[in-house]
């Protein structure tokens, strides 16, 4: 039984729905914008962030209240349609549009309220907000929270929060989803409900790791933190050959496992095309959220294992300065339109207990240095630090949330765009990234317990149930049959049989 928010006025209530031919008229709710094929504005409303995907939803609807949203879900369910929410629209495989044609899309762009309670250090954030706008709103109260760097990424739907939410502050504060206190949701039958540790706890568990399969969230309540007074964004740059880069990756694996690594140290390795064939650009980048004088006591043990530096950049400031710097532009997303890309992406979450072998690292870097140099794509690889000593991410018990990878050392993001960021996407882009991942896994033990990160979702991952959801999949599937028995919130890589 679910705890339902009391509400007595539902002007839009219906007792029966028409056939599919009446869908357009049924969605013509007072004050609610909607676009169906043939409407002016439909092409823009149905445009995917990743231009590899061209989809035709049956409609894109923009509710402004939870009551309207609930009614739209009921309409979609009555028509036996797949219903999906879009918040920001940055799903790598267009799951914000359902991942296939014929989906009813509910765009959350109107749900932009943000309320901050300084006394309890919490914030209630509507799911239509973008990360840049959230950072600005929290900063007005002197607060911050862990999240990624792209200002235009949406807070919910099929992007940041339900699957993780990683940033340079995550080793200190945890994933975005680790800081959820409660949620306001609409279930697949149109019921408006809350979820927290004490209210609908099974739903609350499932939403933090596999949320889009179970509900549409209208608002999150988060724990927030006093914004650090000082943040240093560091960038240490090398140009390395294959052997040196493979050794450097191994040295970094050893460095982050040293017992004294502070939680205030957040980092990734950024690997890009080298200046000559056989080389890669190797950059240690990240954020230091502690006493500025202590950064120089933290990084030198790693630097001592490395060849001479090519360049060093240290950019200091306060918390919001660092968010602006990492975002690469204004945080107020109303000042300019979002961009699009044409790309393929993959991910690999490496187990902390079994670091990448020398053979795996060498195969990986060799492909970057030669195939990557010749590639007709614009690519980057991010080796994001999740684990290491004192990591808040991995200190959370595995079964606390549905997020399935609490023992990961790194999440590696593999990303390749067409050169002009537009279709057609080159076939080599697929084989290049697939071979990179295969080179690592094939040179690792047969029982190597690696995973994949759902926020970097891919459309070609065959064993996604294991890689995305791990040992939690059976419980998630059982809950799915209870919470969404007719698969209203269903999509290609969600929780389904």
pLDDT (tens, 9 = 90+) of the chain, 497 residues, equals 444 443 333 333 333 334 445 899 999 999 999 999 999 999 999 999 999 999 999 999 999 999 999 999 999 999 999 999 999 889 999 999 998 899 999 999 999 999 999 999 999 999 999 999 999 999 999 999 999 999 999 976 444 567 999 999 999 999 999 999 999 999 999 999 999 999 999 999 999 999 999 999 999 999 999 999 999 999 999 999 999 999 999 999 999 999 999 999 999 999 999 999 999 999 999 999 999 999 999 999 999 999 999 999 999 999 999 999 999 989 999 999 899 999 999 999 999 999 999 999 999 999 999 999 999 999 999 999 999 999 999 999 999 999 999 999 999 999 999 988 999 999 999 999 999 999 999 999 999 999 999 999 999 999 999 999 999 999 999 999 999 999 999 888 999 87
**Assigned domain for 478 exists:** no
CA gap 155, 167 in Å, rounded: 13
Per DSSP, what are the bridge partners of residue 382?
Answer: 270, 413
pLDDT tens by residue, 258-299: 999 999 999 999 999 999 999 999 999 999 999 999 999 999
pLDDT computed for residue 18 by the predictor: 41
- Inside any domain, residue 111: no
Q: What is the DSSP string of 386-433?
A: --STT-HHHHS-GGGSS---TTEEEEEEEEEEETTSSSSPPHHHHHHH
Q: What CATH number does residue 352 fall under?
A: 3.40.462.20
Q: Please indicate, yes or no, if residue 491 is contained in any of the structural domains.
A: no
pLDDT digits 0-9 by tens, 130-154: 999 999 999 999 999 999 999 999 9
- Cα separation, 269 vs 272, in Å, equals 10
**What pTM value is reported for the model?**
0.94
pLDDT tens figures, 33-70: 999 999 999 999 999 999 999 999 999 999 999 999 99
Q: What is the pLDDT of residue 155?
A: 79
| Residue 22 DSSP symbol | G
Instruction: Look at residue 133 and tell me if it is in a domain.
Output: no
| Residue 443 resides in a domain | yes
Q: Quick one: pLDDT at residue 447?
A: 95
* Residue 22: predicted pLDDT: 85
Copy the structure tokens of residue 408: 């990961």
Task: Tell me what pLDDT residue 162 has.
Answer: 75
pLDDT of residue 161: 62
Secondary element (H or E) of residue 167: none
Q: pLDDT value at position 21?
A: 56
Instruction: Give the pLDDT confidence score for residue 398 in this predicted structure.
Output: 97
The three-class DSSP label of residue 263 is coil
Residue 428 domain-assigned (yes or no):
yes
Q: What is the residue range of 322's domain?
A: 231-472
Where are the alpha helices (H) located in 199-241, listed in sequence order? 201-210
Classify residue 414: in a domain, yes or no: yes
Those residues with Cβ within 8 angstroms of residue 305's Cβ, 6 or more apart along the chain or in another chain: 248, 251, 255
Q: Which of 376, 375, 362 is nearest to 440 (CA)?
A: 362
Has residue 23 been placed in a domain? no
The Cα-based distances of 130 to 87, 159, 332 in angstroms read: 8, 11, 9
Per-residue pLDDT, 99: 85
Rounded to whole angstroms, the maximal C-alpha distance in the chain is 73
Number of structural domains the chain divides into: 1
pLDDT of residue 497: 78
């Amino acid at each position: 039984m679910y705890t339902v928010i009391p509400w007595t006025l539902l002007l839009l209530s219906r007792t029966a729905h028409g056939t599919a031919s009446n869908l357009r008229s049924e969605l013509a709710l007072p004050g609610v914008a909607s676009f169906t094929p043939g409407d002016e504005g439909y092409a823009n409303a149905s445009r995917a962030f990743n231009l590899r995907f061209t989809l035709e939803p049956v409609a894109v609807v923009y509710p402004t209240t939870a009551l309207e949203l609930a009614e739209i879900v009921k309409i979609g369910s009555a028509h036996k349609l797949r219903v999906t929410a879009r918040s920001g629209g940055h799903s790598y495989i267009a799951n914000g549009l359902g991942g296939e044609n014929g989906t009813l899309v509910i765009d959350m762009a109107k749900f932009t309220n943000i309320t901050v309670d300084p006394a309890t250090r919490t914030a209630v954030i509507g799911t239509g907000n973008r990360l840049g706008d959230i950072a600005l709103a929290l900063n007005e109260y002197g607060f911050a929270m862990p999240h990624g760097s792209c200002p235009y990424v949406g807070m919910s739907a099929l992007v940041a929060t339900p699957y993780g939410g990683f940033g340079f502050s995550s080793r200190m504060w945890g994933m975005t989803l680790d800081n959820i206190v409660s949620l306001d949701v609409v279930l697949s039958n149109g019921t408006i409900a809350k979820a927290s540790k004490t209210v609908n706890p099974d739903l609350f568990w499932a939403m933090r790791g596999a949320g889009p399969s179970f509900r549409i969230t209208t608002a999150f309540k988060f724990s927030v933190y006093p914004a650090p007074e000082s943040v240093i964004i560091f960038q240490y740059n090398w140009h390395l050959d294959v052997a040196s880069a493979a050794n450097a990756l191994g040295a970094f694996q050893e460095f982050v496992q040293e017992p004294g690594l502070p939680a205030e140290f957040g980092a990734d390795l950024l690997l890009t095309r080298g200046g000559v064939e056989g080389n890669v650009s190797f950059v240690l980048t990240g954020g230091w959220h502690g006493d500025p004088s202590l950064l120089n006591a933290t990084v030198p043990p790693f630097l001592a294992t490395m060849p001479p530096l090519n360049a060093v950049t240290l950019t200091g400031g306060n918390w919001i300065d660092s968010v602006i710097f990492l975002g690469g532009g204004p945080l107020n997303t109303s000042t300019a339109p979002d961009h699009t890309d044409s790309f393929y992406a993959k991910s690999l979450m490496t187990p902390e207990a079994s670091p990448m072998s020398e053979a795996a690292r060498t195969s990986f870097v060799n492909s970057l240095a030669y195939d990557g140099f010749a590639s007709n794509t614009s690519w980057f690889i991010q080796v994001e630090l999740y684990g290491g000593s004192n990591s808040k991410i991995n200190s959370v018990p595995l079964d606390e949330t549905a997020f399935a990878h609490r023992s990961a050392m790194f999440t590696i993001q593999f990303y390749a765009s067409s050169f002009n960021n537009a279709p057609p996407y080159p076939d080599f882009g697929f084989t290049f990234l697939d071979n990179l991942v295969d080179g690592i896994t094939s040179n690792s033990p047969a029982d190597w317990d690696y995973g994949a990160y759902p926020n970097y979702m891919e459309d070609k991952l065959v064993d996604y149930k294991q890689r995305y959801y791990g040992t939690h999949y059976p419980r998630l599937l059982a809950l799915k049959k209870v919470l969404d028995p007719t698969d209203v919130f269903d999509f290609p890589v969600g929780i389904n049989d």
